[in-house]
Amino acid sequence: MTYKITSECISCNLCQSACPTGAIKIVDNSLWIDPDLCTNCVGSLYSVPQCKAGCPTCDGCIKQSTDYWESWFDTYNRLVAKLTKKQDYWENWFNFYSQKFSEQLQEHQCRVLGVEP
């Protein structure tokens, strides 16, 4: 399992420059560890994971859980956070939903009344 950035991160960016594989990236203004690039620092010059070793908060970078559901929820929360950070996401979603709903309601009323929409 690779390492991951947690909510304890204070965005000091020390780990980003310390990572020997360039696995730590900024995605949507937050640090993220690319699991395809993180090697846990195995095979590098270092004997301990550099992101964890240099983190001033101690828990800003931690090893990912091997628990399936914990990992699943981590990914889910990251993706939802990505969506909800988009400006006007929920407003656009609500407008789209309301428009579709009112179209369907109108069609239903026309069918019930036997008139053209």
Q: Residues in the site for ligand SF4, rule: CB under 6 A?
A: 2-3, 5, 9-15, 19, 21, 23-24, 31, 33, 38-41, 49-51, 54-57, 60-61
CA–CA distance from 113 to each of 86, 93, 105, 116 (Å)? 42, 30, 12, 9
**Minimum distance from residue 54 beta carbon to ligand SF4 (Å):** 6
What is the closest distance, in whole angstroms, from the C-beta atom of residue 36 to ligand SF4 in the complex? Answer: 11
Q: Which is nearer to ligand SF4, 45 or 115 (CB)?
A: 45
Q: How far apart are CA 67 and CA 71, in angstroms?
A: 6
Q: Are 19 and 39 in contact (CB under 8 A)?
A: no
Per-residue tokens: 40: 């846990």
For ligand SF4, give the closer residue by CB, 2 or 71: 2
* Nearer Cβ to ligand SF4 (54/71): 54
Cβ closest to ligand SF4, residue 42 vs residue 112: 42
Which three-class secondary structure string do you get for 1-16? CCEEECCCCCCCCHHH
**CB 11 → ligand SF4: shortest distance, Å?**
5
Contact 18, 9 (CB under 8 A): no
User: Minimum Å distance from CB 16 to ligand SF4?
Assistant: 7
